[in-house]
Amino acid sequence: AQSVTQLDSHVSVSEGTPVLLRCNYSSSYSPSLFWYVQHPNKGLQLLLKYTSAATLVKGINGFEAEFKKSETSFHLTKPSAHMSDAAEYFCVVSDRGGGADGLTFGKGTHLIIQP
């Protein structure tokens, strides 16, 4: 069975400072991991994904995430926050044992950017 834990429901940072959104997962297989962003009143947009290639994954809008198997983590980072980054972020895990419905979503982290 797979699971995802987003360790913070809310994260608040000042504009121009680094962003860290934490995600831990469990999986019986080598998983694929995804980060999605949801801006207010919008659908979910893929930020980046890991599929067993390079462990450091670069995404859109300056975000990146590092897959750490030993820590079962896939934390999302950005060096310098922008006001437009204010949104809800979801970590998602998928593995070969899950089937067509085998994507597990985290509960989400609400990112607040202070001016």
Residue of 14, 17, 45, 80 that binds other proteins (CB under 8 A): 45
**Residue 72, burial from CB neighbour count under 10 angstroms (0-12, 13-18, 19+):** middle
Task: Map residues 2-41 to x or -, x wherever contact with other proteins holds by CB under 8 A.
Answer: ------------------------------x-x-x----x
* β-bridge partners, 21: 76
- Identify the residue whose tokens are 């949801």: 38
For other proteins, the closer of residues 101 and 115 by Cβ is: 101
- Compute, in degrees rounded to 10, the torsion defined by CA atoms 26, 29, 35, 40: -70
Residue of 8, 26, 49, 64 that binds other proteins (CB under 8 A): 49
Per rule CB under 8 A, is residue 95 in the interface with other proteins? Answer: yes
Per rule CB under 8 A, is residue 112 in the interface with other proteins? Answer: no
Amino acid at 95: D
Distance in angstroms (rounded) separating the CA atoms of residues 108 and 78: 17
Give the interface with other proteins as residue ranges (CB under 8 A): 32, 34, 36, 41-46, 49, 51-52, 90, 92, 94-96, 98, 100-103, 105-108
